[in-house]
């Protein structure tokens, strides 16, 4: 690929103070929340409905055990703005759902845990 083609395919980064805008004109400033201490019976749609009380829910992801497919008791909810995410943390952290007190905070970036094993001879 030529240098010109490479430049044309790169996405423009926003400057400090600018609001980054996506392809459909949506702001890209979403907040991903960690939601822990969930009942194993909690569904994605239940979390979607609950967190929609504080704003627009972009996505819900419940984490399941690879082998059994059973919920691991935590998940992630992505709110469309930082303000809505902060409101969700304020409202739902400690609130009971399914008989359990929710643990809600901003999700931390996933750590690289290595993986892949080692060299085998």
pLDDT at 109: 87
> Distance from CA of residue 82 to its chain's centroid?
12
Beta bridge partners of 32: 78
pLDDT at 111: 81
pLDDT at 35: 98
Question: What are the average pLDDT values for consecutive 10-residue runs of the chain, which has 121 residues?
Answer: 41 43 57 97 96 97 94 97 98 96 94 68 57
């Amino acid at each position: 690929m030529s240098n010109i083609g490479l430049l044309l395919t790169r996405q423009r980064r926003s400057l400090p103070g600018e609001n980054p805008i996506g392809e459909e004109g949506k702001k890209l400033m979403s907040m991903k929340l960690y939601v822990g201490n969930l009942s194993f019976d909690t569904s994605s749609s239940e979390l979607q409905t609950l967190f929609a009380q504080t704003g627009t829910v972009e996505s819900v992801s419940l984490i399941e055990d690879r082998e059994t497919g059973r919920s691991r008791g935590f998940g992630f909810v992505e709110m469309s703005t930082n303000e809505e995410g902060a409101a969700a943390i304020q409202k739902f952290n400690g609130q009971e759902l399914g008989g359990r007190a929710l643990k809600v905070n901003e999700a931390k970036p996933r750590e690289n845990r290595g993986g892949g094993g080692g060299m085998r001879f």
